[in-house]
């Protein structure tokens, strides 16, 4: 992607950097990305969508994954697809739902595998902020969605942005655990440097595929074993 060249576009990029509600370490890491035409166009599309239709998550939660988990603290990355598209569900973290919202089937299956793997009880709710605060980047590939329309914002440019995030983590950090569930996440994870990071792949936790390799993958204990082996704090799943 070319950097913005016109004075007006550069001013727009600088305004975006100043006003975007994303944690400062990510703002620094992604600084060059803000000067690319696709991101300016993406933000314009997102703003128009929020004005003309019902979009999830709430605007102030679009970048929650980064605001709860700084670049420095990131030690595990889980890659999802796009936000939940039902009322009150999406909170900016992949697979996570707000407190008081019924857990979707994929999230239930994640907790089933944790119970099997680590003998932990089901949590009281499906809000995964507690994971994010421990250094888990819960990254959806697409960060917004129109109500009741899964995949509706997949052509906005979000996937280019989230590829840049994965690439920056891969290049600038070491010993990060990437959990790639399903073909979509695995394809997106091809840019990860596997000589520096620990990659765990399996089928998706969806009811349509969980029995094809997600159940029994032991990704949660394997993640903690890797972190412990490398002198890093384990995750309280």
**Do 205 and 106 meet the contact criterion of CB atoms below 8 Å apart?**
yes
d(CA 122, CA 102): 13
Query: Quick one: which H or E segment has residue 43?
Result: helix 37-52
Pick from 233, 228, 200: nearest CA to 134 = 233
Q: How far apart, in Å, are the Cα atoms of 8 and each of 40, 41, 42, 174, 190?
A: 11, 13, 17, 38, 36
Q: Judge contact between 130 and 141, C-beta under 8 A.
A: no
Q: Beta-strand (E) ranges in the chain? A: 55-56, 76-80, 136-140, 145-146, 177-181, 198-202
Catalytic-labelled residue, pool 82, 117, 121, 236 = 82
CA 207 to each of CA 84, 112, 201: distance values in angstroms, whole numbers, following the listed order: 16, 12, 17
- 174 catalytic? Reply is no
37-52 and 7-19 helices, crossing angle to 10°: 60
Cα dist from 86 to 19, 51, 173, whole Å: 28, 18, 35
β-sheet bridge partners, residue 112: none
Indicate which residues carry an active-site annotation: 82
């Amino acid at each position: 992607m070319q950097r913005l060249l016109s004075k007006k576009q550069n001013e727009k990029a600088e305004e975006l950097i100043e006003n975007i509600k994303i944690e400062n370490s990510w703002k620094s890491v992604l600084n060059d990305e803000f000067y690319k035409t696709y991101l300016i166009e993406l933000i314009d599309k997102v703003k128009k969508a929020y004005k003309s239709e019902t979009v999830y998550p709430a605007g102030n939660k679009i970048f929650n994954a980064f605001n709860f988990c700084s670049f420095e603290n990131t030690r595990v990355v889980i890659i999802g697809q796009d936000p939940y598209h039902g009322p009150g569900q999406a909170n900016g973290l992949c697979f996570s739902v707000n407190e008081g919202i019924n857990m979707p089937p994929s999230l239930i299956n994640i907790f089933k595998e944790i119970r099997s793997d680590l003998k932990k009880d089901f949590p009281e709710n499906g809000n995964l902020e507690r994971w994010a605060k421990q250094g888990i980047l819960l990254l959806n590939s697409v960060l917004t969605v129109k109500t009741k329309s899964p995949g509706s914002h997949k052509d906005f440019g979000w996937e280019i942005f989230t590829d840049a995030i994965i690439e920056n983590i891969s290049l600038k950090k070491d010993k990060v655990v990437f959990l790639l569930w399903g073909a979509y996440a695995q394809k997106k994870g091809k840019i990860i440097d596997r000589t520096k990071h620990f990659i765990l792949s399996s089928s998706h936790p969806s009811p349509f595929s969980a029995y094809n390799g997600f159940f029994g993958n032991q990704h949660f204990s394997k993640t903690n074993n890797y972190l412990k082996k490398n002198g890093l704090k384990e995750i309280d799943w």
